[in-house]
């Protein structure tokens, strides 16, 4: 998965392309490149490494009012200069950037080579400029050549191309996201809106099969066969400042700190007179549903565990399934099944595959996502937005909190429709205390001792996180975050499982972070004490007057609240522990090695 951008308009394109790529680096940062065109040839600049390295390599931004750019997460070929995009045809007249995977590239490459085309990279992408170049020899227009080229591709792609001597950008999408940005006198194309949000918030979410031509004073969208298509123009309600780092050293820290406002947005208008009111999902929406399957990956899976547990408490048959395991774990699925894709980006390939499989078996589908216009939002029968604002740091933080809250609200709608009940006996209290959650998160952020504890335990051998019930999902999330950005070994366990094997790993060099939600905490306390008896320092994450504070070696405090929200407050403390540990270890917090934010390959 990668990020692409294109721009055409007045003035030079290079600076806009480079800043746009910086906002797309969450999609990959193995290499970066741009190509611009100014009537005297297509100029390509690319290198392995991040966009900052590309900028440092460019003594002067090349001139040209149109161009394309790319930031890469390697799939075919290592992150070398040669494999960086843009790629060109043999003569260097056609330059292409691509996000996706061309599955039949080996066959196409062999055929092109046999006809004299010379290749310079290991990538699947490089066949595309060669194909466009070849079809240009016979096609009436370059647009027709692009259409023919994409018709020969199998797999997924969002591409943008520029051609020597032509005042146009050509683009197409199939299975990879592509958004058109419309400004007064310039057009943009990108994998995601933050790439051009500084310039415009007017967008068109392109559909699979769309072919786009941008010219200085017009844009044209056609289908695969060249028939004009009309797509609606949406206004994005994200603030450009949300997509930037502001005064912060890291996006992750900014995003942790922005959780109070993100949560306020998530909640706003969704509780009316003590009842949940989710837009587009009135009472009775799910009356035909008998089983709910949540499908998700990584952090979103941990948030989906909230949905599963709350529905089960209401007597609804619910499962959470790792999206990549859906085909083997789904069990019976039919039209009474609701498959809920929980995905921040809405573009995770495993999750999309799972809901497509569920839909193919007759299930109704619902996307719980942060990104309006994302593939999950468009493909699912319904969508609920978590409204967390753009998240750029690879480590998911504010979107976990907003997902869990959205799911807690959604499960009230589902429980009422499916079983006629509520998820919890004290649901009124739960909803009433939700209003306080943003302030409670603020309290945690202001008074956290996470940095001190991260420093104290920095030389540990492993880091364990335990919890029970909703606290278990928080323990898993705490461990994922820790390993993802510190590169240290961390594991999350259901509290009671510690003694069934993992206890063998416990020593005085393995701190145990124990999450207490205030509901059925006995198991966690007992198992934490057992680990402590084997030498492990125990950090209790709980309110000040919780009995665990007495026995723990250290304490991370959270405000008193309803047990459903306590886990989210504990998670904020654990996010801060991970952040500070990674910072103290000098890790590249926003861009952990080998990872990218949205994983669009299976």
Which residues of this protein are in contact with ligand M6R, per CB under 6 A?
A: 297-300, 343-345, 348, 351, 394-396, 480, 484, 597-599
CA 147 to chain centre: 30
CA 265, 266, 269 angle in degrees (round to 5)?
75
Calculate the alpha carbon distances from 597 to 5, 36, 478 in Å.
17, 27, 17
- CB nearer to ligand M6R: pick between 460 and 598: 598
- Under DSSP, is residue 519 helix (H, G, I), strand (E, B) or coil? coil
297 is catalytic: no
Closest contact distance (angstroms) between CB of 130 and ligand M6R is 33
Task: Please give the residue whose beta carbon sits closest to ligand M6R in the complex.
Answer: 298
Closest contact distance (angstroms) between CB of 300 and ligand M6R is 4
- CB nearer to ligand M6R: pick between 69 and 298: 298
Closest contact distance (angstroms) between CB of 64 and ligand M6R is 34
CB contact at 8 A, 493 and 501? no
Write down how long the chain is: 602
> CA-based Rg of the chain, rounded to a whole angstrom?
25
Closest contact distance (angstroms) between CB of 302 and ligand M6R is 8
Query: Which member of 2, 47, 297, 542 is catalytic?
Result: 2
- CB nearer to ligand M6R: pick between 300 and 402: 300
Closest contact distance (angstroms) between CB of 481 and ligand M6R is 6
Question: What totals of helices (H) and strands (E) does the chain contain, helices first?
Answer: 19, 26
β strands within 313-377, DSSP E: 317-322, 337-343, 364-369
List CB contacts of 565: < 8 A, sequence separation 6 or more.
Answer: 430, 433, 434, 437, 440
- CB nearer to ligand M6R: pick between 379 and 560: 379
DSSP characters over 186-214: EEEEESSGGGTTTT--EEEE--TT-EEEE
3-state secondary structure 546-578: CCHHHHCCEEEECCCCCHHHHHHHHHHHHHHHH
CB contact at 8 A, 188 and 6? yes
- CB nearer to ligand M6R: pick between 430 and 596: 596
CB contact at 8 A, 457 and 573? no
CB contact at 8 A, 44 and 33? yes
Picking from 490, 278, 272, the residue whose alpha carbon sits closest to that of residue 366 is 278
- CB nearer to ligand M6R: pick between 66 and 576: 576
Query: Which member of 398, 481, 523, 597 is catalytic?
Result: 597
597 is catalytic: yes
Closest contact distance (angstroms) between CB of 563 and ligand M6R is 24
3-state secondary structure 178-190: CEEEECCCEEEEE
- CB nearer to ligand M6R: pick between 328 and 594: 594
Closest contact distance (angstroms) between CB of 572 and ligand M6R is 14
Active site (catalytic) residues: 2, 597
């Amino acid at each position: 998965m990668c990020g692409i951008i294109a721009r055409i308009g007045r003035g030079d394109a290079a600076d806009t392309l480079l800043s746009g790529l910086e906002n797309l680096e969450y999609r990959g940062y193995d290499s970066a490149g741009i190509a611009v065109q100014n009537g005297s040839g297509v100029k390509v600049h690319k290198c392995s490494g991040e966009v900052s390295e590309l900028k440092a390599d460019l003594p002067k931004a090349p001139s040209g009012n149109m161009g394309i750019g790319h930031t890469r997460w390697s799939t075919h070929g290592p992150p070398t200069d040669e494999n960086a995009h843009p790629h060109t045809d043999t003569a260097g007249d056609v330059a292409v950037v691509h996000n996706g995977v061309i599955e039949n590239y080996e066959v196409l490459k062999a055929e092109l080579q046999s006809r004299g085309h010379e290749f310079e990279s290991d990538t699947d992408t490089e066949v595309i400029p060669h194909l466009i170049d070849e079809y240009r020899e016979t096609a009436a227009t370059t647009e027709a050549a692009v259409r023919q080229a994409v018709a020969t591709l199998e797999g997924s792609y969002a591409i943008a191309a520029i051609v020597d001597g032509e005042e146009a950008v050509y683009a197409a999408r199939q299975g990879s996201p592509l958004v058109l940005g419309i400004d007064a006198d310039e057009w943009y194309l990108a994998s995601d809106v933050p790439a051009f949000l500084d310039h415009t918030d007017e967008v068109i979410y392109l559909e699979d099969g769309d072919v786009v031509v941008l010219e200085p004073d017009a844009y044209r969208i056609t289908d695969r066969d060249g028939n004009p298509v009309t797509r609606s123009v949406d206004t994005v309600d994200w603030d450009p400042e949300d997509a930037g780092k502001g005064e912060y050293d890291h996006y992750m820290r900014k995003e942790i700190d922005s959780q109070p406002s993100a949560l306020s947005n998530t909640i706003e208008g969704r509780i009316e007179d003590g009842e949940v009111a989710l837009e587009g999902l009135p009472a009775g929406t799910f009356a035909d549903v008998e089983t709910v399957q949540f499908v998700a990956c990584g952090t979103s899976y941990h948030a989906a565990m909230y949905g599963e547990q709350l529905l089960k408490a209401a007597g609804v048959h619910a499962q959470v399934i790792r999206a990549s395991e859906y085909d083997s774990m789904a069990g019976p699925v039919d039209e009474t099944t609701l498959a809920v894709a929980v995905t921040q980006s809405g573009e995770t390939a495993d999750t999309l595959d799972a809901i497509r499989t569920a839909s193919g078996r007759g299930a109704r589908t619902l996307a719980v996502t942060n990104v309006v216009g994302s593939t999950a939002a468009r493909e699912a029968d319904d969508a609920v937005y978590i409204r967390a604002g753009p998240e750029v740091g690879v480590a998911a933080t504010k979107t976990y909190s907003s997902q869990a809250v959205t799911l807690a609200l959604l499960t009230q709608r589902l429980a009422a429709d499916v079983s006629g009940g509520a998820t919890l006996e004290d649901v009124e209290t739960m909803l009433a205390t939700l209003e306080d959650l943003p302030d409670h998160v603020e309290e945690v952020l202001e008074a956290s001792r996470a940095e001190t504890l991260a420093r104290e335990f920095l030389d540990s051998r492993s880091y364990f996180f335990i919890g029970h019930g909703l606290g278990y999902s928080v323990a898993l999330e705490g461990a994922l975050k820790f390993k993802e950005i510190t590169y240290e070994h961390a594991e999350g366990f259901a509290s009671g499982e510690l003694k069934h094997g993992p206890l063998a790993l416990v020593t005085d060099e393995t701190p145990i972070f124990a999450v207490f939600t205030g509901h059925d905490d006995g198991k966690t306390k007992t198992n934490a004490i057992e680990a402590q008896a084997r030498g492990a320092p125990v950090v209790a994450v709980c309110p000040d007057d919780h009995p665990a504070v007495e026995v723990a070696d250290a304490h991370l405090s959270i405000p008193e609240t309803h047990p459903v929200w306590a886990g989210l407050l504990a998670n904020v403390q654990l996010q801060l522990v991970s952040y500070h540990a990674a910072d103290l270890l000098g890790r590249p917090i926003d861009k952990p090695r080998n990872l990218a934010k949205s994983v669009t390959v299976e």
